[in-house]
Amino acid sequence: MANDIIKGLKFHHIGLKCKDLDRSIDFYSNVLGMKKYAAWGEGDERIQMLSIGDGGIFELFAGGGDAYADNGKWIHLAMEADNVDEAFEIAVKGGAEPLIYPKSVPLASEPERMTIRIAFVKGPDGEELEFFKVL
């Protein structure tokens, strides 16, 4: 069933802040079979996207530290949209709090460089929602 308000809206990825990024990459790729999709950054700014296998993406962030010793920290829920700017405007008009206004971000990602269009809002319970599109 298609979304009648935000055209092309679908789940894209969820982000998890990790205490040990390399351990998490190993677990999700070698144990659960997810494939490396894109990676960028260094040190505590490293990010690894993994393809779940059904079109969804699992995004792992380094730098979790001791605050995440017992459990990971979900960062945001990302939804792909045909038009990120329009999705952002609809969400804000509907009462969402703007966090990051729509912007294009070129990534020095591997194995291929890509540019993404993103925007973030806070939902009704303070949850972070991202609208996302690979350009």
Q: What is the pLDDT of residues 26-48, one digit of tens each?
A: 988 988 888 999 999 999 999 99
Q: What is the mean pLDDT of the chain?
A: 88
User: How far apart are the C-alpha atoms of 56 and 51, rounded to whole Å?
Assistant: 6
Edge-to-edge strand list for the sheet holding 128-134: 35-40, 47-51, 57-61, 10-17, 73-80, 128-134, 114-122, 97-107
pLDDT at 128 over 70: yes
Claim: this prediction has a pTM higher than 0.85: no
97 φ, ψ to 5°? -90, 125
